[in-house]
Amino acid sequence: MTAPPTTEPLVELRDVTVQYASTQQTVLDGVSLAVRPGELALVTGPSGCGKSTLLRVVNGLIPHSYRAGVTGEVLVGGKPAAGQTIRQISAVVGTLLQDPQRQIVGTTVRTEIAFGPENLALPRDEIRHRIDEVAGRVGITHLLDRATSQLSGGELQMVAFAGVLAMRPSLVVVDEPLANLDPSASLRLLRELRRFVDEGGAAIVVEHRVEEILEFAPSHVLLLAGGRPVYHGDVPGFLRVAPVGQVKLPFGTLVERAAELPEAPDRPARERGAVRLAYEKAALGYPGRTVLSGLDLGFGSTERVAVLGPNGAGKSTLLRAAMRLVEPSKGRVLVDGAPVAERSIISLATTFGYVFQNPGQSLFSGTVRDELAFGPRNLKWPKDEIEAASQEALRAVLLDQEPGILDRPPRTLSFGQQRRLTVALALAMRPKTLILDEPTAGQDLHTTSAFMDHVLDTTESVYFITHDVDLALTAADRIVVIDGGRVAADGSPAEIAHRTDLWDRLRETSLVRAVRAELPPKGALPHPFALARHLQSESSRSEISERTPPT
């Protein structure tokens, strides 16, 4: 049962403004929000609008861990947050971060979930009970004895969520929960979050991919832009005013608001070209564990390929083999017709620009300038060419307008900016092929569209792993589905959309359903904006025809 509206808020922000000391930027400006027991609040808006900062205010990281000036009132559990310690606030507010690796401290899943309850000095039997309970609730009992270092990004996200629930907070704040999760895992997480709220808890969810969250009935939506609130109210009102080119809305809403949609890029399908990356009866995995077997697959030198599949299915393992980060235990992996084992690291680095799922695996220099120059400098490029390639790469990922970006330490950038920077690092090497592991997580629709458009149009070939099904349908010439240790499907976006047998394991969006209902299973797919305008036009013509009497 949802708590009555008279219940006191668990967290309340009253006209809050935040300015970071390191940049002197005002990131939140006059934001108010109250969340009561039984409420699920959705916070959304363009990248860089202050969503993650709002969560840091709610969970006490601002001002206790981040140096920032805060004006206005922040109340947690009815008391001023500034007068409480992080420990006191964490008894009320549990946090699931955008990057799960930043909050994983245990070497195994079991010790990770136990970490919070142990810090509460709970009895050992109670800790064991909580571990078993939350592992069962979020579907990770089979992972309890696995090393956290061996888990996929999505599996880590579920483990981190279990660790939050084991603390039994009153309110949970969740930053971009869908970025790393397959459909099954995201459904489990959101169902458990909804159940947590229905049982008297509360939640604040930050997410760009609004459609999936709307299925779980948010009580209210806060839309931010430039740090300021531009809408705060119910879902129907939000769908009427949300920026259609920046927030990922249900396809039906795009059809209704087709007149407001920006122009869609025209990107004709490419031919595959010569095979760049091939697997011949290959088996891939790690010591003691085979992840993929019987692989017979080729990726063309001029095509755009999306790789879909559940968490832990082996998507990253498949493409890591291109860089010899995983060696085949059987069969062969070939690059441009030669065994990958015969290629030098420098040769592979100029053929493939590889972007890891976790930005932290690629960022180690003191400044963005040094990060961008590291690869080209090792290839002995002249200084002026390095500078030109760096600026070109920053423009491609929409980071060139950030004040003083070249002299900033990479770790001071937001998670979404760090992810785009790692794409820029790959682009600065001017490779023939880009391999991207979840490149758009943490990005709004406008940013995703802009930098993916550049990447797709200026690089010979792009192979990208994603849980964003709509991105795969929109940006790829071909989709490969990995599941059950094998290639479960391989076809054009239209063909994959019509494969109804796949969608119990993939996230079926309203766009997938529209493609299946309105378009044939063969041929290129139009951009969603173009399809929405076409359907709206067809609907308008039909209405006019119905109103016009026959002559």
List the pLDDT tens digit at each of the 551 positions of the chain.
Answer: 444 445 899 999 999 999 988 777 888 999 999 999 999 999 998 877 889 899 999 999 998 888 888 999 999 999 999 899 988 999 999 999 877 877 888 999 999 999 999 988 899 999 999 999 999 988 899 999 999 988 877 788 889 999 999 999 999 999 888 777 777 778 888 988 999 999 999 999 998 888 889 989 999 999 999 899 999 999 999 999 998 877 888 999 999 999 999 888 777 778 889 999 999 999 999 888 899 999 999 999 999 999 999 888 899 999 999 999 999 999 999 999 999 999 988 889 889 999 988 777 788 888 999 999 998 998 899 999 999 999 999 998 888 887 788 998 888 887 778 888 999 999 999 999 999 998 887 777 888 888 888 888 888 999 999 988 999 999 999 999 999 899 999 999 999 999 999 988 888 899 999 999 999 998 888 889 999 998 998 776 555 445 445 54
- Which residue is listed with tokens 């690869």? 375
Q: In 124-281, where does DSSP find H-type helix?
A: 124-138, 153-166, 183-198, 210-214, 235-241, 251-256
Q: What angle do CA 340, 344, 348 make, to 5 degrees?
A: 65
542-547: long-range pairs with CB below 8 Å, 24+: none
* Residues in CB range of 459: below 8 A, 6 or more apart: 353, 427, 431, 432, 433, 434
**Alpha-carbon span 187 to 237, nearest angstrom:** 25
Pinpoint the residues of the chain covered by CATH 3.40.50.300.
1-92+171-178+200-257, 275-535
**Alpha-carbon span 294 to 332, nearest angstrom:** 11
CB atoms within 10 A of CB 342: 9
**Alpha-carbon span 533 to 515, nearest angstrom:** 14
**Alpha-carbon span 200 to 161, nearest angstrom:** 18
pTM: 0.83
Tokens standing for residue 253 = 């809403």
**Alpha-carbon span 296 to 293, nearest angstrom:** 9
- Which residue is listed with tokens 């076409």? 534
User: 207, 178 in Cβ contact below 8 A?
Assistant: yes
Architecture label for domain 275-535: 3-Layer(aba) Sandwich (3.40)
The CATH class of the 1-92+171-178+200-257 domain is alpha beta
Burial 394-403 (b: 16+ CB within 10 A, else e): bebbbbeebe
By CB atoms closer than 10 A (0-12, 13-18, 19+), residue 257 is middle
**What beta strand segments (E) does 438-509 contain?**
461-465, 478-483, 486-491
